[in-house]
Amino acid sequence: MINRNRLQIVLLFFSALFFVGCQKVINIDLKDTEPIFVIEGELNEGDSLHTIKISKSVKFGDLNSFPNVKNASVTLSDDNGNSELLTELSNGEYKSSQFKIKGVEGRTYTLVVEVEGKTFRATSKIPYKVNLDDILLIDNNFEGNGKKIPVPIRQDPAGIQNNYLFDLYIKRAKDNIGWEKDSTVIVFDDVYSDGVITQQPIFGTIRAFSPQDSIKVTMKCIDRNIYKYFYSLSLNGQNGSATPANPISNFSGGALGYFSAQTKQTLQKIVE
């Protein structure tokens, strides 16, 4: 998943705003904004155990505390008639335990959350997997000193709409602090790359990888609604972007966040 604290801060700020025209300004008392439920969930192809996180946004003056939500009823089901009530853990997480719901390409999944008299529902379909074939490392001409930029290699299927979300990680050779995740939302579709071998560099806050650094790339094939969510989230995080708005959640009922049924592949390399 994406960095949870960063997501909640972005969602909290934009939940205080309604749609604002290009020329008309709406004044809103941010401190009076009521908390909103935030639901984050992923269901990966091949997995039978799944975890959903539920929290609440807070009022504008309370940015450092995002309370976990207890006593919710969380049900996960598929279009093959299987259903499971998830078990509540102690930290706002709800986890499956009965191996009833397996992630299968082409199958549609529904998540229903009932809490405090409200019901939130989201559906997502696992796309057919596009293979992450390799990570090509190319020279970063701006940084020099042998530094590299990662290029995930994939063959995009022709005639099928495909959407991709990437997570990028670094383990620096100069220290021993483990994997560090890039905080940038990296999302693509195939509008301009349908049916071709795609060699598009990815980078964000991690501008380059030095020799002996380890690199890890996770590629998720996501459905179109999830692409819209992360694309709108990426626009919200850019300075100078258009008037901000809530990311386009696939939940009904007014909750923020997302539920993504997806494929997930990870490759690692050491920069030479």
| 65: CATH | 2.60.40.10
> What per-residue confidence (pLDDT) applies to 232?
92
> What per-residue confidence (pLDDT) applies to 35?
86
Q: Which residue has the tokens 């969930």?
A: 41
* Pair (10, 104) in one structural domain: yes
Instruction: Evaluate whether residue 229 is within a structural domain.
Output: yes
Residues forming a β-bridge with 41:
52, 259
> What per-residue confidence (pLDDT) applies to 4?
52
For every residue of 134-186, DSSP letters joined together read EEEEEE-TTT-TT-EEEEEEEEPPTTS--EEEEEEEEE-TT-----EE--S-E
232: containing domain: 4-15+26-128+222-263
* Pair (211, 245) in one structural domain: no
Whole-model pTM?
Answer: 0.83
> How many domains does the chain contain in total?
2
> What per-residue confidence (pLDDT) applies to 62?
58
Instruction: Evaluate whether residue 272 is within a structural domain.
Output: no
Low-confidence residues of the chain: pLDDT under 50:
2, 5, 7-31, 238-244
* Pair (79, 211) in one structural domain: no
Instruction: Evaluate whether residue 241 is within a structural domain.
Output: yes
